[in-house]
Each structure stands twice: as structure tokens, then as C-alpha cells.
Structure 1
């Protein structure tokens, strides 16, 4: 089916002020052409996928780039960072070099090339960047697409004893430990967006508003971190159901708006430029995104592809599953997420459930060996000639040792992982899976609630 997509020139109007019913009243519109395809596969979510056949660039300085003469970073690690509007901006504090923006490049592990003045004369000596971006100084000069991040699968689903839980530690602990993508599933009940696993009767982790309020507070206290959000739109709801919540929690102040729709691999900025701009919350919606009305709420599958969804195969093949039918050029131009959360497929009382295979977490989240996260990351890197951008895992705090998932990411990023992890977990331990009897009790409760 051929569609015509209209992209609002948001320099005229704040992105969050654009309503889907109002866009037709705006005269200055950019046109994007593309196609929509549907996937009906019982092993995956059924949804529509947009394939753009054109790209449009938004006006200069739109979408989270540094504008004006200075930018400030506030929080528990507060520092005032001055950045000129030129491409070769350097910023320092009295005690250390904080960040470098523009086109400066890293030399070795921690040093940055001397910047060039407007006259073309190099500065007297190179400066050293000691302020980490997303945990490492080396990341400051790297593009967003040139970093492997640990992603918490169903980040909010923390409930002791629940077969539907995917994490043991809450979102604040996840962020403190180094998780930089938060993925979650949403359901709408009585006009309220809840965080639920398949059914709110199975696991209800509260409202999206409460969850994002916690994350926003954390981000304001950590001004040198870029955090990615992947919203699972289980009900295929209109995107306006999420935008008001993002505004209400204050997260909108930090949201990054891309300069292009869609963004190719080389279009993404460096972490330092995102941090200097203050626009460092990257938002994706898996289905029903409308970048006409909300350019900042990006269509996931126009920007990344995924390996097999909810995998039950412990060999974790690094093949493209969603979106379907990508050609080699599109595969190379998009980021990709390695789904490495091993599941058990159970059919109880005519209800089919996928639950985390917690008995094998020490292997699944391990650094090496068959079925490990490390083995999959290496396989993906060899197959696609680049590491995964996101490693989606359950119970990130368990593995072959505490922090093993972060060790894998560090290897992909060519940095040294020397941190302590994670939360209050015990080294080398694994979570005991729920018994079939406990699972049947949960299913029975769901059936009773359904009447």
C-alpha cells in the first residue's frame, strides 16, 4: 500500500504542541514517501512496518544540536560547559576538561586532538578529556550509533516470585549499574497507560507516568548520560497516548529530536554533542509511530532491526527478523538489537506464555561459551561486520559473574570494564525458576479474573 507521509517543520512549532488533527492546518510541510507492510507471524508481534523511500532534513540547529553561545549541565555532577557555535568547540572547567564537542577526535584512550581556531592555527597543546560520557571518556567523541549498550528487557517488570518478571533490580539500580536502554511493554486501561506483561492480571508494574518520573529524576542528576527508551506499544495505541505523559514527567525537556526522518547510521551525532545540547533522551516506539506529528517519537523499525524476538533457541541466531524483508542496504544503514533473553514456551490451560528461562542465566548472560551473550555478540559482529548497538537481556545482574553483560558490551566497545556490579545480587548465582504449579496458579487467577 502506497502512503504519503507529511512531516511538520517543527522549527515553527514545538514538537509536543503538534496534534495529529492539527497537522493538516499547517502550511509548511515536508513530504516523505514510503510503504507500509504488515507481518502476521505467530512467533512474533503482528504489526505494520514503514519503509521510507525518501529522506527529509529538518532545518539547521533542529533536533538537539548545540545552539547559542553556551550550554549548562546541572545535577549531582553539575558543571557549566561553554560551547561556541563553531564546529571546533572545546569546553573546560577550572579543575579538568569536562567535554569536547564538534569534530574533535580521541587520540589513544583519553586524549583529544587540539582544536583549531577560526584562523586555522592549532591550539598550543592537546587537552585531556576526563569526564565520561555514558561511563567512559572514550565515548564522548563517538557517534551514538558507534556504541554497544546493555538494554534491560521489560525494565519495569520487577516482582519477586512472579513468573512474568524479567528483572530483579529496579530501574534506578539498572541505570546506576550501566543499563542505557530501557525497554518496556505498555497497556492502556481506563485511559491510563500501565506497564504490564502480556496481561495486567499477570504482572502490573504501575503506571508509565510513575516509571518515567523516576527515570527523569535520575537523568537530571546524571547530566553526562544518554538514555534510550524503547516503548512496546502492545495495544497499537495512537502515539498521543504517550506524549502527554512524557511532557508531564518533565522528560520532554531532555528528549532528542532527530535532524532527519529517518536517520541513517552516519546521521547520528556524537554523545558529547547530545550531552552539550541537553537533548539526551532518545525515544523509540515499536508500532504506530507518527513522526508527522511527533518527530521525536521515532519509529523503531525505520531506525533499527532486531534478531529473533522472544527467543527460545539457545543458539541465538543473529538473523534479521523484524522488520521483515530488509534489503542489504537497509540492513547496513540501520542500528540493530540483539535479543538475548532466553524464554520457555509454556502452554497451560490453553494460554500460551513465554517466561524467562532463569535456570540458565549464568550461561545466557555469560561472557563466553555456547549460548552466551558474548558468543552471540561475537557471532553478530562477524556476520554483520559491526557489533550490535543494543544487547537486550533479562536479569542483567546475573551471569557467569556479576557484571558479565557489561563485560560483553565493554569488549564490543573496546574499553575496559572495571566496575562493581550489580545492586544487591550475589556473585555467580542464578534465579530459581518458578514451578509449574506456581505458574498454573497464576494462570488460574487470570482465568477467574476474565470471568
Structure 2
């Protein structure tokens, strides 16, 4: 009992410290102030291996998207309107509205801050007159004929970890709200406890938000209700366990109805299908595992680092260098032909209950998630675009709803994609004030701390 209360107290104290601009270290003859520069790993660091890039695995039974040469014959009727797409699971049926779907457009190149090209549209597949698209794929009609690998998707770092006042929380709004607001990558850690996969941050004693199956059930339900949306799910195999442990949660949740199976491992940029193709086949969930994936045994559970690389994880440097970290020792030409994820969540390393954990740097969220300025999401996208001649495929952020305006990270992604963004569309209201700042301020935490201190001393007296 005392241990649990002490853990709660230390969590609250460290959460308050994490929202300060600096940490005051006591001890010795004087106190010193240290800027947040240390880093703690937020992923498995031992027993990990990377796939051999020298060989290509051909996956049988996957969809040959190359045979889909003219989407107008699939999505559009003779009068230029789209046919309805139905998704079936059990006795449930959901149908999309009848609308017109994009079937081809000319390739365009635009500049980003006058330095490098943004994501371009897909090449035209026909010279004949094409119907006008009105269907928003992932929120925008212009993205329907764009390859999945040729879009910047905003990702929620540690998406399930929503718990006000907890040091291990990284988001403020639940996963359904995240998806409604435009999050298209869900990233998180998974831990095996008593033969069940739970979603925990570093340790299940620190933050446990429930089972992977329950979380994926919510995601699958959302996908059934949104037939024109494609998402990615990135699972951190923190315990480096056998990948077969992940099949039951995906199957039992219903997510298996939507999983995408690639034709090869690894996947070059041009091998990815367009959003329209994935929507037509209803393979709208790209599920990846960072370590121990075996696509020979489980073709739809993709090996993350065969598909993409990452910039430094849980970064503490406000410059956010777009240099590769994982996988290591990969040649530049290989990286240029893979998707990549920019980890754009500024962190501070703290210790709690004998654990080292990275926590969001709260006081800089409005700048870190901004669409302009030093250390902003927009600056990170521009830097990556300059270094790699294309924007990042995924932009991973903490507290996506907070910025220089609510949802400013989506503006940065929209600019990279060359599409407009409706600022009024974001964000969910739970847990935020009118100015977009977190409700769990230092004052709130001190109040909770005072309450728990009373409980603690009462229990020990």
C-alpha cells in the first residue's frame, strides 16, 4: 500500500517538474539548474535484430494492385458517380455514400518554404476525360490517387496513454477522437502480462490502460464507420516477444478484416498502393511491429524497419535533426527508397519508481507542435524535405491537439501534402481549455499532490 502511494506521489511530483522550463537539482553546497538534454529509451534496447535488406521476400496471396489500371471502372458508374462500397463483419454492414472518386490527375511539384518539393500527386493513368472527385480519402479528395507512401500522415505518439496527471501519458484525447480529428498513425508500446497483451508505458506498474484487444476493437469499429480512411498502426514490441502473441488481439478485435498485406518485404516507395486502391480492397490498416515480425508466418504483420526508418526517438533536441537512428547502418540509397517517420515529440528524461522514462516537455508544446517557428513541426518537415527531397511519411507527435492553435500539426502535414486544412475541424474538447493548453497544470498537480501527501502520512501514522 505504501509503495503504491509513494509511486503516485513521485509520479505527480515528476509530472509537475516535467512542465517546468528547467529542473532544479538539490544537493551539496548549492543548487544548480540543468536544461533538459538527457534521453531515455522508449523502446526495446536488448535482444533486438533487424531484417536482412540484401534479400527480398515475395509474399503470396497479397493483392496485385498493378492489375487495377483504371479506377473509374471500379469506383465510378457510367454517369461519373462512384459505386457504393460495403464493409461486412458478422451481421454488420456499412455502406459509403454514393459520390465521385478520383481516378487520375497530373503530377505536380510545389515548393515548401522555397526550398524543396512537397508530396506530389499520382501520375495520370488515362488520357480520356475523368470524373471529378468529391470523395475525401483520409480527409482530402486530392489524396485518393496518391500512394500511401507519398503522403505525410500525422501520428499520435503513445496513442492509448491518456490519463491526466500521470507522468507516462502522452495524449489528452481518446483514440476515437484522435481518428476523428485526423490522426492516421497510432503508435504505442505493448507488454505481455499473464499471457495477455497490455498497453503500458515502460512498465505496467506506471501506466496500464488496458488490453491491446480492447483498444483495437475501438479502432476496428471506427474503420467500419469510415470506409474512405486508411490508417497505420505501429506496435512497439517492448518485451521482444514472439509475434504470434499479436495475432489473437488483431483477429478478435475485428481489425483483421482491414489489414493490408504487402507483396514484398521490404517495400520500396513505388510499391505501395494508392489510398483509392486500398479503400477498394478494404485493406485500410497497415499494421507494423518494430521488432520480431515474421512476415513469412504472419504476412500482414509488417516488419517496421523493412518498410521505413526513423529519426531519433523521444528526441530532446529542439533542432530535431532529420538524421536516421533506426535501423542503423543502412545505406542512403536504401533510405531514399523507403518511407520514414520524423519523431517530433520533445521530451525530458525523469526517473520514477526506479524507472527512467521520457515525458513530454509541456511548456514548449505550443511551439513544438506549431505550424511555424523554431523547433516547430513545420520546421521539422521543411528540414526533412531539404535533406531527403521529400517530406516525412509520418510525423509523430505528443498531445497533437495542442499547438500555436488547436491542431496546428495537421496544418503542417496539409502544407506538406499540398492540400488545404480546415482549422475549425480540430480538436476534441475533452481535457483542454479554451486556449488549447492542458488542464493538468502545475497548480492542479500541486493540489493533487497535497491530497496524496495527506493520505500517505495518514496511512503511515
Deviation at 1:131, TM superposition (A): 0.4
1:423 matched to 2:415? The reply is no
CA–CA distance in structure 2, aligned partners of residues 135 and 294 of structure 1: 30
Matching of residues 14-163 of structure 1 within 5 Å: 43=41, 45-46=44-45, 47-59=48-60, 62=63, 73-74=85-86, 78-79=95-96, 93=98, 96-100=99-103, 104-106=104-106, 123=128, 125-163=129-167
Asked if 1:309 is matched to 2:301, the reply is no
1:245 is displaced (CA, Å) by 1.2
- In the alignment, structure 2 segments of 5+ residues that lack a partner are 1-38, 76-83, 88-92, 110-120, 453-461
Contact 2:154 2:185 in 1 (8 A): yes
1 CA distance for matches of 2:40 and 2:381?
Answer: 26
* Alpha-carbon displacement from aligned partner over 1:217-256 (angstroms, at most 9, x marks no partner): 0000000000100001111011100011111111111111
Query: 1:300: which partner in 2?
Result: 304
Give the direction of change, closer, same or farther, for the CA distance of 1:63–1:244 in structure 2 (3 Å limit).
Answer: farther
* Secondary structure at the counterpart of residue 50 of structure 2: strand
Specify the SS of the correspondent of 1:322.
coil
Between the two proteins, the alignment pairs up a number of residues equal to 379
Deviation digits for residues 78-116 of structure 1, max 9, x if unmatched? 248xxxxxxxxxxxx4xx41353xxx335789x999975
Task: Summarize the Cα distance change of 1:227–1:369 in structure 2 as closer, same or farther, 3 Å threshold.
Answer: same
What's the TM-score, normalizing by structure 1? 0.77
1:295: how far off? Answer: 1.3
Q: Which of the residues 312, 320, 328 maps onto 1:324?
A: 328
Give the aligned partner of residue 347 of structure 1.
Answer: 351
CA distance in 1, matches of 2:288, 2:122: 32
Matching of residue 231 in structure 1 with residue 238 in structure 2: no
Could you report, residue by residue, the CA deviation over 1:313-366 in whole angstroms, capped at 9, with x for unpaired residues?
A: 222111111111111111101111011111111235643221111121101111
1:48 is paired with a residue whose SS is coil
How far apart, in 2, do the equivalents of 1:383 and 1:113 lie? 24
Task: Tell me if the contact between 1:231 and 1:286 (Cα under 8 Å) persists in the aligned partners.
Answer: yes
Indicate how the Cα distance of structure 1 residues 66 and 369 shifts in structure 2: closer, same or farther if over 3 A, else same: same
Q: Which structure carries more helix by proportion?
A: 2
Q: 4+ residue stretches of structure 1 with deviation over 6 A?
A: 63-67, 111-115, 436-442
Q: How many angstroms apart in 2 are the aligned matches of 1:180 and 1:382? A: 24
Alignment correspondent of 1:89 = none
- In structure 1, the residue matched to 2:220 is 216
Contact 2:44 2:239 in 1 (8 A): no
Structure 1: runs of 5 or more not aligned: 1-40, 81-92, 117-121, 443-451
Distance 1:305 1:114, change over 3 A: closer
Counterpart check, 1:172 vs 2:150: no
- Paired with 1:294 and 1:440, the residues of 2 have a C-alpha distance of 50
Post-superposition CA distance 1:50-95 (Å, at most 9, x none): 132122434586367888x968623698248xxxxxxxxxxxx4xx
Using CA pairs below 8 Å that are at least 6 residues apart, which structure has the higher relative contact order? 2
**Residue 274 of structure 1 pairs with residue 287 of structure 2:** no
Most deviating of 48-57 and 151-160: 48-57
User: Mean alpha-carbon deviation: is it higher for 432-441 or for 296-305?
Assistant: 432-441
In structure 2, how many angstroms separate the alpha carbons of the residues matched to 1:202 and 1:64? 44
Any idea what SS the aligned residue of 1:128 has? Answer: coil
Q: 2: distance between equivalents of 1:113 and 1:301? A: 27
* Residue aligned with 1:205, SS: strand
After the TM superposition, which of the residue ranges 175-184 and 43-52 deviates more from structure 2?
43-52
